[in-house]
Amino acid sequence: MLQIAHRLRRFPLAAPNPALALSLALSHLYPSHFPLLSSSPLPVSASGACSSSPSSPESPSLSRHSPPRHSCEIPALLDRRRSALHQPEFSSWRRAFVRDPVLRDAREFDEFRCARVSQAWALPTEAPVWRMAPALMTPVWLPIVEKSVFRFDESVPAREDAAPSISFENPRLREEGIDIESNEPEFIPVITLEGSNQIVTLKLPTGTSFYGTGEVSGAVERTGKRIYSWNTDAWGYNQNTTSLYQSHPWVVAILENGQAFGVLADTTRRCEIDLRKESIIKMSSDAPYPVITFGPFPTPEALMTSLARATGTMQMPPKWALGYQQCRWSYMSADRVSEVAATFREKKIPCDVVWMDIDYMQDFKCFTFDKNTFPDPKALSDDLHSKGFRGIWMLDPGLKAEKGYFAYDTGCENDVWIQTPDGKTYVGECWPGAVAFPDFLNEKTRNWWAKLVKDFVAVGVDGIWNDMNEPAVFKTVSKTMPETNIHRADEEYGGRQSHAHYHNVYGMFQARSTYEGMKLANPDKRPFVLTRAAFIGAHRYAATWSGDNLANWEHLNMSIPMALNLGLSGQSFSGPDIGGFAGDSTPKLFARWMGLGAMMPFARGHSEQGTIDQEPWSFGPEVEELSRFALNRRYRLLPHYYTLFHKTHTTGVPVMTPVFFADPTDVKLRKIDDSFLIGSILVKTWPSPKRRNSHADLELPKGIWQRFHFNDDHPELPMLFLKGGAIVPTGPVVQHVGEASPTDTVTLLIALNETGKAAGDLYEDDGEGFGYQDGDYLLTHYEAEKVSTPNAKYGEVVIRVASTEGRRERPKRTLQVRLLIGEDVQVEGECVDGEELRIKLLGDEDVSKSIVSNREAWTADLDRKQSLLDTVFGDHHPVLGVGATLMPEDLEKGNVSLKVLAYNGGRIASMIHKPSGYEWMEEGFKNGGYEEFSGSEFRSSGWNETYNVVKRELAQMGGYEEIKMEGDIGGGLVLARDILLPQDSLDTIKVSSSIVARSVGAGSGGFSRLVRLRIHPTFKLVHPTRSVILYTAVDGTERKMEPEMGFEEHLIEGSDRPNGEWKILDQQTGLGVINRFDVNQVALCNVKWGPGSVALELWSEERPVSKDTPLTISHEYELIDE
Q: Judge contact between 742 and 764, C-beta under 8 A.
A: yes
∠ CA 992-998-1004, rounded to 5°? 120
Residue 430's identity, in one-letter code, is C
CB 706 within 8 A of CB 751: yes
Q: pLDDT at position 917, please?
A: 80
Q: Do domains 139-311 and 326-395+445-472+499-644 have the same CATH topology?
A: no
**What confidence score (pLDDT) does residue 741 get?**
97
List the strands of the sheet with 947-953, edge to edge: 947-953, 961-970, 973-981, 988-997, 1111-1121, 1071-1077, 1058-1066, 1027-1033, 1038-1041
DSSP-derived 3-state class of residue 1095: strand
Beta bridge partners of 730: 747
Is residue 712 annotated as part of the catalytic site, yes or no?
Answer: no
Mean pLDDT calculated for residue range 927-935? 82
* Identified catalytic residue from 215, 266, 301, 470: 470
Q: For the chain, how big is the Rg over CA atoms in Å? A: 32
CA distance 530 to 463: 8
The more confident residue out of 927 and 997 is 997
CB 608 within 8 A of CB 581: yes
Spatial separation of the C-alpha atoms in residues 293 and 285, rounded to whole Å:
17
Whose CA is closest to 4, among 84, 106, 134?
106
Residue tagged active-site, from 215, 352, 548, 1066: 548
Pairing type for strands 353-356 and 390-395 reads: parallel
CB 536 within 8 A of CB 250: yes
Angle between helix 553-567 and helix 587-597 axes, rounded to 10 deg = 10
Q: 3-state class of 760 per DSSP?
A: strand
- Given CATH 3.30.70.340, say whether it is the number of domain 326-395+445-472+499-644: no
Q: Once rounded to an integer, what is the mean pLDDT over residues 838-860?
A: 72
Q: What percent of the chain has pLDDT over 90?
A: 67
Task: Report the candidate in 207, 183, 215, 217 with the shortest Cα–Cα distance to residue 293.
Answer: 183
CATH code, 889-1121:
2.70.98.10
Q: What number is the average pLDDT over the span 538-567? A: 97
Could you tell me the pLDDT band of residue 784, with boundaries at 50, 70 and 90? very high
**Model pLDDT, residue 127:** 31
With cut-offs at 50, 70 and 90, classify the pLDDT of residue 558. very high
**Higher pLDDT pick, 1024 / 731:** 731
Phi first, then psi, for residue 949 (nearest 5°) are -80, 110
Indicate if the pLDDT at residue 493 is higher than 50.
yes
- Which residue among the candidates 359, 467, 824, 1097 is catalytic per the annotation? 467
> Could you give the CA distance from residue 496 to residue 501 in angstroms, rounded to a whole number?
10
What's the rounded Cα separation, in Å, for the pair 510 and 489? 13
738 in Cβ contact with 638 (< 8 Å) = no
104 vs 162, higher pLDDT: 162
User: Residue 91 carries which DSSP code?
Assistant: G
Calpha distance 851→1109 (Å, rounded): 60
More confident residue, 134 or 593: 593
- 209-212/226-229 β-pairing: unpaired
Q: Residue 1104 — very low, low, confident or very high, per pLDDT cuts 50/70/90?
A: confident
Q: Which residues pair with 395 in a beta bridge?
A: 466
Return the ∠ at Cα 481 (arms to 479 and 483), rounded to 5°. Answer: 115
Q: What is the DSSP string of 248-317?
A: --EEEEE-TTS-EEEEEE--SS-EEEE--STTEEEEEESS---EEEEEEESSHHHHHHHHHHHH--PPPP
Helix segments in 396-442, DSSP class H: 406-413
CA distance readout (Å), 92 to 1, 95, 156, 445: 16, 8, 11, 30
The confidence band for 75, taking pLDDT boundaries of 50, 70 and 90, is: very low
Per-residue pLDDT, averaged over 917-934, amounts to 72
Q: How confident is the model at residue 814 (pLDDT cuts 50, 70, 90)?
A: very high
Element (H, E) at 18: helix 18-29
**End-to-end C-alpha distance for the chain, whole angstroms:** 81
Domain ranges of the chain: 1-134, 139-311, 326-395+445-472+499-644, 889-1121
pLDDT of amino acid 801? 99
Q: Give me the half-sphere count of Cα atoms (radius 13 Å) on the Cβ side of residue 248.
A: 29
Angle, CA of 722, 725 and 726, to the nearest 5°: 50
Q: Quote the pLDDT of residue 852.
A: 67
Q: Could you give the CA distance from residue 478 to residue 475 in angstroms, rounded to a whole number?
A: 9
* CATH classification number, 139-311, choose in 2.60.40.1760, 2.40.420.20, 3.40.630.70, 3.30.70.20: 2.60.40.1760
Mean pLDDT of 197-223: 97
pLDDT, position 467: 98
* Contact yes or no for 604/545 (Cβ under 8 A): yes
Residue 960 has pLDDT above 90, yes or no: no
Quote the mean pLDDT of the chain: 84
Residue with the bigger pLDDT between 862 and 720: it is 720
- The angle subtended at Cα 331 by Cα 334 and Cα 429, nearest 5°, is 110
Q: What is the C-alpha separation between 111 and 316, in angstroms, rounded?
A: 45
**Residue 1021: what pLDDT?**
85
Is 443 among the catalytic positions?
A: no
Please, where are the H alpha helices in 414-571? 443-457, 499-502, 506-521, 553-567
φ, ψ for residue 719 (rounded to 5)? -90, 145
Continuous segment of H or E residues that includes residue 1007: none
Mean pLDDT of all residues in 455-461: 97
Structure confidence at residue 123 (pLDDT): 29
Crossing angle, helix 638-651 and helix 300-311, to 10 degrees? Answer: 60
Known active-site residue 739: no
How many CB atoms are closer than 10 A to CB 958? 8
pLDDT at 19: 42
Classify strands 187-188 and 1071-1077 as parallel, antiparallel or unpaired: unpaired
The 3-state DSSP class for residue 669 equals helix
pLDDT tens per residue across span 1015-1072:
999 998 877 878 999 999 999 999 999 987 566 789 999 999 999 999 999 998 899 9
pLDDT tens by residue, 242-260: 899 999 999 999 999 999 9
pLDDT at residue number 708: 95
Query: What are the respective helix, strand and coil percentages of the chain, to the nearest 5?
Result: 25, 30, 50
- pLDDT tens track for 340-381: 999 999 999 999 999 999 999 999 999 999 999 999 999 999
Q: What's the rounded mean pLDDT across residues 75-85? A: 28
What's the confidence (pLDDT) of residue 182? 74
Confidence (pLDDT) at 942? 81
Determine the pLDDT at residue 1047: 63
Residue 180's pLDDT is what?
A: 84
